[in-house]
Structure 1
Amino acid sequence: MVKVEGFAADGYDRVRQVLQDLVDDGRETGAGVSVWKDGREVVRLSAGWADAGRTRPWRPDTLVQPYSLSKAFVTIAALVAVRDGALALDEPMAAYWPEYGAHGKERTTLRQVLTHRAGQPRFPADAAGLDLLDDAALRASLASAAPEYVPGTSLGEHALTYGHLVDGVLRAGAATTLREVFDEVVRPALALDAWFGVPDDALERVADLEYADPEWPRRLHAAPWLRIPAGALDTRRANSTAWRQSVFGAVNLHTSATAMAAFFSRLTDEEGPVRALLGASLHDELLASQVTGFDEVFGTRITWTLGFVRDRGKIAKGGIGGSAAWWSLRHRHGCAYLTRRLDDHSRAAEIAAALGDDLTVVGED
């Protein structure tokens, strides 16, 4: 029997028991859980193994790729450029990136990208032959493609394209890159143990991803939006050093549960680091409900802020495969469940329920 390690303060014992049950039932093979309340970590739990060979126990500082949870930090990097006056949320991106302003994208704005309404929820068919790590060619494919719908008229998470769209406009309009803004501004300002491009000395902390079921990638509702370029859900590719040290902004941040729960615990704080980084106006924009509608990629009704999902109970972001992090508007705690075992979100939902939270995605009008 694999024992869950770590601590849970008084009143949080149920969280430990749920995680232990997930391990005992074989539904979890490697995960971290963290909860922050009133400025301190009240739960820090480690379950199972960090590697496929089950030789490295999961530790509090284990890093793992949480897929779309990465997008929250792409958003913040974009807003840093808005803060600095290099970009504007409602200016056509073509004003900065002329190549992008073609085939119906002439009026597409950064706000539409950040709220998943830019009409490019996937890479175009002619990008199918591109390598997953050929970021210049992938950016160019988005610039030259027609949108799938008139920007601003529909909704669908920009599953793989989000980071490349933001990186493209940062390069063109702010003379910088997503990696540079994250490394030089966002990560130090927010004191994040999180990486777009894991450094050499942190590679030994990275967990190997594995499928709960080999058929999992083909069963996903979002599968049609994840096929181009090939390899985003291929664990052999995702577990490679080349991928871990690259930047694929939509999905390949590597971080720990403690780091994500701490971040979410300070997300709404008017004296916190996110507001200090962005300023009051952009912080308010970041957290405000921007659009509600049926998200084609999620397959449900949803409310987006600039980069987060929001309803009456939480501000959250999850990733395909089961990882999730959130700020509970009801209970005022920040939580994260990060896993290496790629499956659905039922495990995170059970952890949330033990805390009195509900991870159901609900559109907020």
Structure 2
Amino acid sequence: MSNVEGFVEAGYEQVREVFQGLVDEGRETGAGVSVWRGGREVVRLSGGWADAGRQRPWWDDTLVMPYSLSKTFVTLAALVAVRDGAIALDEPVARHWRAYGARGKDRTTLRQILVHRAGQPRFPAEAAGLDLLDDAGLRAALEKAAPEYPPGEGLGEHALTYGHLVDGVLRAAADTTLGELFDGVVRPALRLDAWFGVPEAELGRVAELEYAHPDWPERLHAAPWLRIPDGALDTGRVNANDFRRAVFGAVNLHTTATAMARFFAELTDEAGPVRELLGQELHAELLASQVTGFDEVFGTRLTWTLGLIRDRGKIAKGGIGGSAAWWSLRHGHGCAYLTRRLDDHARAAAVAAALGDDLSVVGED
């Protein structure tokens, strides 16, 4: 049997069985699972390896990039700026970020950005030659581009653009950056083992991403929205330390399963750290259903809150590759499945099913 370490409390044995099976069958080569309930961790499992060479076991403190799960924490940084009065949710962002108002974007609001209705689900073709880490160039490309549909009318997850859009707003309205606001306010307030820009001292904990199949990027429904700039799906690029140490808000938070499960377990708590960070009104805005419709990037109908997906059973967010985290509205637990093996969400869905949860529609496969 392959290496699976950790614990499950009584009543959660099936989670271990499912996860052990995924590792034994080779469907999982490196992942962590965590479940929190009633203020404590009731499941913590680690399986497989943190590196492609199978030399570093996956430990419970292994950091991994979960792609779009990262967007949840971009949202929180934006809402802190709203809390502090730097900008309002329904205020046109061009009042602050004047260059952004070009070509039909003059009335785009922060709310429209956060609920993926700003009409910029991808970087424009003019950005194709830019480096993945050219922050200023990519923001400028968004400023100059016309939206793909009138802001507020269509729906499509801002797959790679989300962090750059919010970062542009924060720079203009709050005189700070996404990285600074997350690191200085959000991360300490929520006690998160999570990083935009992994510090040098923490790089040894980071897992290497790898494809489950050589053509994995081409299999994605969302592939057309992820091609510009080049490199976001290239494991050689995203496994490099310069990318890990940078801030690419839409995708490159690095975190642990335990941190994400605890965050989601505390997400709706009226006495919890998210409510304390945002205040009652913005906490309610964060969790409330904002828009329901066909999301062209996901290729399905879904409901967005401010940055999260919500249905009758859960509040969740996932990312391409198979990582996902959620709060179960039905069962009252927070869960996370974080993986380095880039495939679909079937593995996380199997763990969710063992908990009685339905993990439909969490990532852009």
Query: Which TM-score band (shorter chain)?
Result: over 0.9
Distance 1:92 1:55 in 2: 51
Distance 2:347 2:303 in 1: 23
Distance 1:145 1:301 in 2: 27
SS at 2:271's partner residue?
coil
Amino acid at match of 2:206: V
Task: Kindly state the Cα deviation for residue 337 of structure 1 after the two structures are TM-superposed.
Answer: 0.1
1:173 maps to: 173
Distance 1:219 1:188 in 2: 38
Task: Kindly state the Cα deviation for residue 109 of structure 1 after the two structures are TM-superposed.
Answer: 0.3
Deviations 1:162-200 (A, max 9, x none): 000000010011000000100000000000000000001
Task: Kindly state the Cα deviation for residue 3 of structure 1 after the two structures are TM-superposed.
Answer: 2.6
Amino acid at match of 1:196: F
Task: Kindly state the Cα deviation for residue 155 of structure 1 after the two structures are TM-superposed.
Answer: 0.3
1:155 aligns with 2:155: yes
1:215 maps to: 215
Deviations 1:3-45 (A, max 9, x none): 3110000000000000111011110000000000000000000
2:117 maps to: 117
Spell out the pairing of 1:302-317 with structure 2 (5 A cutoff). Answer: 302-317=302-317
Distance 2:78 2:194 in 1: 17
1:94 maps to: 94
1:286 maps to: 286
Distance 1:359 1:237 in 2: 29
1:242 aligns with 2:216: no
1:354 aligns with 2:328: no
SS at 1:5's partner residue?
strand
Spell out the pairing of 1:188-207 with structure 2 (5 A cutoff). Answer: 188-207=188-207
Distance 1:18 1:69 in 2: 23
2:106 maps to: 106
Distance 1:282 1:176 in 2: 20
2:44 maps to: 44
Amino acid at match of 2:349: A
Distance 2:39 2:347 in 1: 25
Spell out the pairing of 1:312-351 with structure 2 (5 A cutoff). Answer: 312-351=312-351
Distance 1:345 1:90 in 2: 34
Amino acid at match of 2:280: A
Distance 2:168 2:361 in 1: 30
2:272 maps to: 272
Task: Kindly state the Cα deviation for residue 302 of structure 1 after the two structures are TM-superposed.
Answer: 0.4
Distance 1:296 1:178 in 2: 26
Deviations 1:233-290 (A, max 9, x none): 0000010000000000000000000000000000000000000000000000000000
Deviations 1:22-79 (A, max 9, x none): 0111100000000000000000000000011111000000000000000000000000
Spell out the pairing of 1:127-166 with structure 2 (5 A cutoff). Answer: 127-166=127-166
1:14 maps to: 14
Distance 2:283 2:236 in 1: 38
SS at 2:6's partner residue?
strand
SS at 2:336's partner residue?
strand
1:185 maps to: 185
Distance 2:122 2:291 in 1: 20
Distance 1:173 1:263 in 2: 27
SS at 1:180's partner residue?
helix
Relative to the length of structure 1, the TM-score reads 0.99
SS at 1:263's partner residue?
helix
SS at 1:163's partner residue?
helix
Q: Which runs of 5+ in 2 are unaligned?
A: none
2:301 maps to: 301
Task: Kindly state the Cα deviation for residue 360 of structure 1 after the two structures are TM-superposed.
Answer: 1.0
Amino acid at match of 1:348: A
Distance 1:212 1:350 in 2: 17
Q: How many residues align?
A: 362
Task: Kindly state the Cα deviation for residue 361 of structure 1 after the two structures are TM-superposed.
Answer: 2.5
Amino acid at match of 1:59: W
SS at 1:32's partner residue?
strand
1:30 maps to: 30
Deviations 1:306-356 (A, max 9, x none): 000000000000010000000000000000000000000000000000000
Deviations 1:95-116 (A, max 9, x none): 0100000101010000000000
Amino acid at match of 1:90: D
Distance 2:238 2:2 in 1: 26
Give aligned-pair identity as a percent.
78
Distance 1:7 1:234 in 2: 34
Task: Kindly state the Cα deviation for residue 216 of structure 1 after the two structures are TM-superposed.
Answer: 0.5
Distance 2:255 2:5 in 1: 19
